[in-house]
Amino acid sequence: MFLKVFLLAAAAVVVCAASPDEVRIYNGQTAYIRNIPHQVALLNVSKPATNQHFCGGSLIGPQWILTAAHCVVNYKPAELNVRVGSSFFAQKGRVVPISRIVVHPGFKPSTMDNDLALLKITYEVFATGGAMRLSVPLPKSTEVFAEGTSCTISGWGRMENGLKSPVLKEATIPIANRKLCIRNYAGALISITDNMICAGFFNATKDTCAGDSGGPLTCRGKLVGVTSFGKGCSVKNYPGLYASVAKARTWITEETGI
């Protein structure tokens, strides 16, 4: 299976029990951080500055980021930074240290269930002048987004040429037919749980990919899902899989007050 550590790719990535696969955004277009101000880049501080990015995340409050558990479960806070407010993962914006990592207690690496984690940054971040909201609203725990709902995925993951995009990319995808997703993934011996959302195209036109993991799936202005995994990148019949934010609302509120 591939973990969606890369962004807007044409197909989803699947994660293996011990080592999830990567994902990226295929067939995406250039995005601007002013239109996706909640998007952040996760950085591994032990690597060269030009190659620190490995996952994405979303600001859900002035001091909290929601990302994928598989991105951070093996890290300590001191090993990570986040870049906020930039369309580029290696320049501009602000680089902020992380003070705390909270992995969802129900996260299961073998199945990728509850693939969510919260990151607390060392200080609050706000838009210059306070004219723009940086954090993205969250759905209610009972909120459902129907098949066909138009959503946006974004990130710096691998593109069609296999290279990571230095500039933020985005693509528009729909919430997919859940029953068909479950059936197709069952054929690949992958179970889609109630804590997962299937989104994308069955004809493999747009998808997230390696490097996109942890990034946002936003629908109607709300953070509905977190890029998790899939069966490769832009693989026909296998839309991407995203961790459901609505299903984790109680946990998010308990940890952050949001």
Mean pLDDT score, 236-251:
96
Q: pTM, whole model, 2 decimals?
A: 0.88
Mean pLDDT score, 72-92:
95
Catalytic residue among 213, 228, 234, 244: 213
pLDDT tens digits, one per residue of 135-158: 999 999 999 999 999 999 999 887
Mean pLDDT score, 72-95:
94
CATH superfamily of 149-245: Trypsin-like serine proteases (2.40.10.10)
- Structural domain boundaries in the chain: 38-135+250-256, 149-245
Task: Choose the weakest-confidence range: 6-10, 81-85, 236-240.
Answer: 6-10
21 is catalytic: no
The answer to whether the 38-135+250-256 and 149-245 domains have the same CATH topology is yes
Residue 25 has pLDDT above 80, yes or no: no
pLDDT tens digits, one per residue of 187-230: 999 999 999 999 999 987 777 777 789 999 999 999 999 999 98
Residue 26 has pLDDT above 80, yes or no: no
Residue 85 has pLDDT above 50, yes or no: yes
pLDDT at 17: 28
pLDDT at 16: 29
207 is catalytic: no
The tokens describing 80, both together, are 């990570």
Higher pLDDT: 132 or 16? It is: 132
Residue 4 has pLDDT above 60, yes or no: no
What is the identity of the amino acid at 75?
Answer: Y
pLDDT tens digits, one per residue of 54-73: 999 999 999 999 999 999 99
pLDDT at 170: 92
pLDDT tens digits, one per residue of 158-197: 766 666 778 999 999 999 999 999 999 999 999 999 999 9
The tokens describing 83, both together, are 């870049």
Catalytic residue among 58, 70, 87, 135: 70
The topology (CATH level 3) of 38-135+250-256 is Thrombin, subunit H (2.40.10)
From the CA atom positions of the chain, what is the Rg in Å? 16
pLDDT tens digits, one per residue of 91-104: 999 999 999 999 99
Q: Residues of 57-87 as b/e, b for ≥16 C-beta within 10 angstroms?
A: bbbbbebbbbbbbbbbeebebeebbbbbbbb
pLDDT at 129: 59
Residue 107 has pLDDT above 70, yes or no: yes
Catalytic residue among 115, 165, 207, 234: 115
Rounded distance, CA 24 to CA 42, Å?
15
104 is catalytic: no
SS3 string, the chain, reads: CEECCCCECCCCCCCCCCCCCEEEEECCEECCCCCCCCEEEEEECCCCHHHCEEEEEEEEECCEEEECHHHHCCCCHHHEEEEECCCECCCCCEEEEEEEEEECCCCECCCCECCCEEEEECCCCCCHHHCCCCCCCCCCCCCCCCCCCEEEEEECCECCCCCECCECEEEEEEECCHHHHHHHHHHCCCCCCCCEEEECCCCCCCEEECCCCCCEEEECCEEEEEEEEECCCCECCECEEEEECHHHHHHHHHHHCC
pLDDT at 162: 62
